[in-house]
Amino acid sequence: MMKIVTIIGARPQFVKAAVVSRALDFFAERHRNKQINEVIVHTGQHYDTNMSDIFFAEMQIPKPHYNLHMGGGYHGVMTGQMLAKIEEILLEEKPDVVLVYGDTNSTIAGALAAVKLHIPVAHVESGLRSFNMRMPEEVNRILTDRISSWLFCPTKKAVNNLQGEGFMRKEMTGKYLIENVGDVMYDAALFYKDIAQPSETLSNVLKEVNYKFYLATIHRAENTDDMVRLKNIIKALECISRNIPVILPLHPRTRNIIQQYNIQLDNIKVIDPVGYFDMITLLEQCQGVLTDSGGVQKEAYFFCKPCITLRDETEWVELVEHGYNVLVGADYDKILQAQKESSAKQLDFSIKLYGDGTAGDKIIQKIVEVVLK
């Protein structure tokens, strides 16, 4: 019998965990002699229905056993309170492994609570680096990697980053593992694209823009919390919107700041954050993507769309190297130039950068090999 506690809390983690939970069920079905029990802890970092519940419903993620309701507030308070609550749960549940995803405050809180109780941590999406320590995500990633026993990397580059920091294949426990398994978000895109149906609300929006549009998302602190950057980006999206509609599913963080500073959005087609199925529809049907999201950069490539990234650096460097993605920061002229060029681009999306769509299975297989031996 093996028990895994999965810690999730923010939107991208629901997408990633959906893949691994499904792989776990699949494994358990094929190996009835190996009992695996997954206990899901939702920290509550994201809590609006369309930032959380909709993903559980659409992607059929098992209902969390615990919801800590720890959304909002400063990073220190949020992370500290999560840490204390997760520790209580781990003491009660006594799992063999704690599974964490990505680079949010929920990730580091889960990993830290586990390692202090000597419970091995498996980190999915390990080894990514932006080399920008001002990003909260970079701090979370580096610290989580340092205290994890299983470092599941999505790319060769991520493995190289870890090795460059002195990580070796086996260290101390003898259980220490670094493995390039591919990207779980690729697994998700492959699996859900065949079943995703757009909502009626989105179908009406698509009709309104005559099925020709760019898709934009903005939520990174480096953009939302810097008025010059945010205004430049909005001005550029407004300008693009005069030629081709731009649909912007607005993250609550950005919505709050836009309201607070009374920033006008006249032409951009702003909609509420959408569920994963609507997002797939938007990615499938758009002409191109403008984003500062980590996940959406890759999804643009999965759905064969050129991507313009509204950041100064990216962890997904292979997308830039292959010309699928252009980094423009928050520079008004560069954004407009990149959009013009992207509409004329002929890109070959046949190169496979993120594995073969079985990252979830590989992760479960590896954990089971060690824990159940």
Is 91 or 227 the residue whose CB approaches ligand UD1 more closely? 227
Q: Does position 355 bind ligand UD1 by CB under 6 A? A: no
Catalytic one among 42, 46, 123, 219? 219
Whole-number Å distance between alpha carbons of 94 and 339: 51
136: tokens are 């909260």
Q: Does position 146 bind ligand UD1 by CB under 6 A? A: no
Residue 273 binding partner per list ligand UDP, ligand UD1, none, with a CB distance cut-off of 5 to 8 Å that depends on partner kind: ligand UDP
- Contact residue for ligand UD1 among 5, 12, 128, 205 (CB under 6 A): 12
Residue 72 binding partner per list ligand UDP, ligand UD1, none, with a CB distance cut-off of 5 to 8 Å that depends on partner kind: ligand UD1
What size, in residues, is the chain? 373
- Contact residue for ligand UD1 among 11, 16, 42, 311 (CB under 6 A): 11
Is 251 or 362 the residue whose CB approaches ligand UD1 more closely? 251
Residue with tokens 């695996």, as numbered in its chain: 36
Q: Does position 72 bind ligand UD1 by CB under 6 A? A: yes
Contact 306, 324 (CB under 8 A): yes
* Amino acid, res. 227: M
Is 252 or 355 the residue whose CB approaches ligand UD1 more closely? 252
- Is 219 an active-site residue? yes
Helices (H), the chain: 11-30, 53-59, 75-93, 105-116, 136-146, 156-164, 184-192, 200-208, 221-224, 227-241, 252-260, 276-285, 294-302, 317-321, 332-344, 359-371
Which element (helix H / strand E) includes 340?
Answer: helix 332-344
Is 181 or 274 the residue whose CB approaches ligand UDP more closely? 274
Of 47-55, 86-94, 304-312, 341-349, which segment contacts ligand UD1 by CB under 6 A?
Answer: 47-55
Q: Does position 5 bind ligand UD1 by CB under 6 A? A: no
Neighbours of 33 (CB within 10 A): 5
Is 2 or 307 the residue whose CB approaches ligand UD1 more closely? 307
357: tokens are 């769509």
Residue 217 binding partner per list ligand UD1, ligand UDP, none, with a CB distance cut-off of 5 to 8 Å that depends on partner kind: ligand UDP
CB of 7 to ligand UD1, least distance (A): 12
Contact 178, 166 (CB under 8 A): no
CB of 276 to ligand UD1, least distance (A): 13
Q: Does position 80 bind ligand UD1 by CB under 6 A? A: no
Contact 181, 152 (CB under 8 A): yes
Is 141 or 368 the residue whose CB approaches ligand UDP more closely? 141
Residue 252 binding partner per list ligand UDP, ligand UD1, none, with a CB distance cut-off of 5 to 8 Å that depends on partner kind: ligand UD1
- Contact residue for ligand UD1 among 27, 47, 191, 332 (CB under 6 A): 47
CA dihedral 5, 126, 305, 241 (to 10 degrees): 80
Whole-number Å distance between alpha carbons of 21 and 28: 11
Question: Please, which residues have CB within 8 angstroms of residue 175's CB and are 6 or more apart in sequence?
Answer: 120, 149, 150, 370
Is 79 or 180 the residue whose CB approaches ligand UD1 more closely? 79
Q: Does position 137 bind ligand UD1 by CB under 6 A? A: yes
Q: What share of the chain is helix, strand, coil (3-state, %, to 5)?
A: 45, 15, 40
Helix (H/G/I), strand (E/B), else coil: 5: strand
Which element (helix H / strand E) includes 301?
Answer: helix 294-302
Quote the longest CA-to-CA distance of the chain. Answer: 61
* Interface positions, 254-273, toward ligand UD1 (CB under 6 A): 256
CB of 224 to ligand UDP, least distance (A): 12
Contact 310, 328 (CB under 8 A): yes
Active-site annotation, residues? 219
Binding residues for ligand UD1, per CB under 6 A?
A: 10-12, 45-48, 51, 71-72, 103-105, 136-137, 219, 252-253, 256
